[in-house]
Amino acid sequence: MLTALSPAVAPSRGTLSSADEALTGRLALLTASGEGLSHEELWRTVADVAGRLPDVADGRRLVHLPLRPDLASVTAYLATLQAGHVALVTPDDARTGKILDRYLPDVMATGDPERPFETLTPAPRHLLHPDLALLLSTSGSTGSPKLVRLSRQNVRSNALAIAEALRLTEDDRAITSLPLHYCFGLSVLHSHLVAGGSVVLNEGSVLGEELWNAVDELGVTTMAVVPHTVELLESTGALERPHASLRLLAQAGGRMHPDRVLRTAALGRRQGWELAVMYGQTEATARICVLDPALVADNPDAVGRPVAGTSLHLDTTVPEASDGSGEVVVRGPGVMMGYAEHVDDLALGAMLSELRTGDLGRIGPDGLLRLVGRRSGFVKVMGLRIDLNMVESALDALGYVACVGGDDAGLTVAVEPAPGAVPVETAALVRRLAGEASGLSPASVAVAVAELTRLPNGKVDRLACAALVRREQPHQQPREQSSQGAVVPADTSPTLATGVARAVGDVLGLDAVDLGRSFVQHGGDSLSHAQASVGLEKLVGPLPVGWHHRPLGEIVEQARPVHDLPGTTAVDGARGRGRWWRSRSVETSVLLRAIAVVIICGSHADLFSILGGAHTLLAVAGFNAARFGLSMPTARGRWRASLRTLVGIAVPTVAVALFGMIAQDRYGWANILLVNWIFGDVAYGFRNELWFVDALIACTLTLAAILAVPWVGRAWRLQPWRVAAAVAVVALVPRFLVLSLGEGVLRGIMPTTFWLFAVGAAVAYADTRRRRMLTLAIAVVGGATFFPDDLVRNATILAGIALLTFVPKVRLPAWAVPLVGLLASASLYVYLVQFPILGLVPDALGALGATLAALAAGCIIWRVADQPVRRLQDLLLRPNR
């Protein structure tokens, strides 16, 4: 029996512990493998972990928790609450950058059970209000520095209210089907713990067998879902299979169409589980209303009644209200203390007595709340006030899954393709229907037929959908904005923002660039980054660390005017373009690519004899792979991004190998299949000219496969340098073992060169002097005797790695930077075509002429082939967005 407790600043057994002392032996947290902690063990562990935090008597600390569904992360989170500090909960990925820049944490959770926290400052940085316990991003804005401030009373009271509304007991067991940094996912943990139940910590997707095996084998009784989850499960049939323990599907996170509600509820009745429809906001700690499963079939358009302790009323005076609707206004212990938009806000107490949700609703005679739209869901187009929710609902009623947006230029409609329908016909029909629903001419409606882009919590990413439509309909581009989220056409007026958009658009072949997204999110990879970085630095000056993962709008806003950069002179300032400096910086990885390919080409042409360029490039390739494809937060994302890059490498390689095989009998099928290092004659090096590409592809696939191992992937997200360094050390074993068995070209195959690739990956995350020194030490162990009879070659390789490790950027004469950028961007093509070209150049041109000819040919072919290859990459593997 659950009983509400009076709010307490520091409950004796933790903010989320159950009041039932009879739960000693019952499990509280489990992993998918079945290991776990009982309630007694959990709170004992939490108390122990809390003891690793600074004493609250010395000042309350802001603790950053990149929350993952594992025991170490969850116990660290609970320990932070119990100890009386403030938990800053974020996703475990690059989206946290803006949050951490604004709210510098005092303590960082590491995810390591042996050392759960790292104290970053000896004294508290911030003044924290005594009631403040938890900071969360607002729903759908997990990278925004605007946070929701929640108290212990908010957290506990709402957890108890949810448990009561869903009738949770000690026999209930949930599974982490939603991210824990998302307020809905976190409320699942909270409500089951206060009810004395348990939670299975699982990272698997709802589409994966791992999650459903855990549901069945571990006796999961409740599962939280958002509308998109239900759509996915409907398409896969996962819910149509019997799950004996499942008793409740709890849906929130957005409106689900009444027809789908009815279908899901009916399916549940057949399979023995019930559907509870819920409504909530992060600003209300989680849940506001719950529709009892017994009422769902008769009220599929409702979201229920308020949870215990919460009340609501409608403000019918707002301009958007009509026909008895009004803005939903909430009161109760779950209402947040207020927003934090600046670090000084963390010292504020509760600023709200009620929460204006921004949602429009109606309350029927039965007391059930029905939502009808959003106050923000209105735009004016040519003077007409358009209800976007109404247009979306009209399309929804006709069976179209759509996201409707708009501005004064018109409406944007992204609609998912219907099975068997012709996209062009669907677009024309949707354009007409949206025009009828809004009262606009179809000419004012832009439509794109594509899968809707979604946020990590399953909600539709409306900004991304609008950007998608604008890309598909370039004749209806919105006005440029200065905000980071602006969608900027690549051919608009030459301001700094549009210059950045044009630079990225030209490199990646995009018609429009969303400044709210990063270079990587637009499809940028290690192959295109050299060209992009050189072009962007020409516009905005030195790029910040990790620029490729930052929103482009942030780069624009943080840019220093060219004339403010020290030691620079603007020669051509016309229209803000074409600026040149006495010197400009260039990333070391870009410079090394350019130098290495010149060394390789010149050495093969007998212009000089400097060896080691290709092996240095393998370390640079590992460095870039770690920063781009392998930096994605999930194994699936890493595979997808890595394979996308490998397509960009493999396509030109296969084309050159095929030409060489047919025209010059230079290569064989093993070259075309990129497996010459396995099936070629490695003893004598027959047709072994393209060994570098074979090794690069094999190394990339090998490291991606290693990181796909779940526990390795989790460690990579938390401590990428440690993982990369460990892989590099282990990779030294085959390097020494294989080379002890023979010679030939064995120094150009994956088992003997993988250590170089892994060292490069470690360099990418060597963020302290100690780590940089250790990384270089590993390189020295592997490289000092790599070529026993050529110490100069070994020194060349190690010098390149040292430069990459200790010198992130190099300043060059301004005139040299475009040339360096060109050679670095075309380096793969130069490497591929040098061999056929050098064989065709007349002896009369000499070694210098042959080298220049090969370099020029590679650059020209790259310029011609780059965009077609990029379009093929987009066709086969769209960028991670």
Alpha-carbon span 779 to 774, nearest angstrom: 9
Per-residue CA distances from 47 to 76, 84, 127, 132 (Å) = 10, 12, 25, 20
Tokens of 210: 């791992």
Alpha-carbon span 405 to 763, nearest angstrom: 43
Alpha-carbon span 289 to 224, nearest angstrom: 15
At 356 the three-state DSSP class reads: strand
* Beta sheet of 132-137, edge-to-edge order: 115-119, 107-112, 62-66, 86-90, 132-137, 147-151, 338-340
Alpha-carbon span 221 to 480, nearest angstrom: 50
pLDDT for 428 beyond 60: yes
Per-residue CA distances from 445 to 149, 209, 305, 413, 710 (Å) = 39, 41, 37, 7, 45
Please report the pLDDT score of residue 22 as a whole number.
57
Mean pLDDT to the nearest integer, 160-165: 95
The DSSP code sequence of 5-56 is ----SS-TT-TT--S-GGGTTSEEEEETTS-EEEHHHHHHHHHHHHTTSPPG
Alpha-carbon span 775 to 196, nearest angstrom: 47
pLDDT band per the 50, 70, 90 thresholds, residue 319: confident
Cβ neighbours, 10 Å, residue 840: 11
Please report the pLDDT score of residue 559 as a whole number.
60
Proportion of the chain above pLDDT 70, given as a percent: 85
Chain segment 486-544, per-residue pLDDT in tens:
444 444 334 667 777 777 877 776 666 767 667 776 777 777 777 777 778 777 777 77
Domains and CATH numbers, the chain: 21-370 (3.40.50.12780), 378-472 (3.30.300.30), 487-581 (1.10.1200), 588-876 (no CATH)
pLDDT band per the 50, 70, 90 thresholds, residue 409: low
pLDDT band per the 50, 70, 90 thresholds, residue 19: low
Rounded to two decimals, the pTM is 0.51
Which has more pLDDT, 811 or 133? 133
Which has more pLDDT, 752 or 462? 752
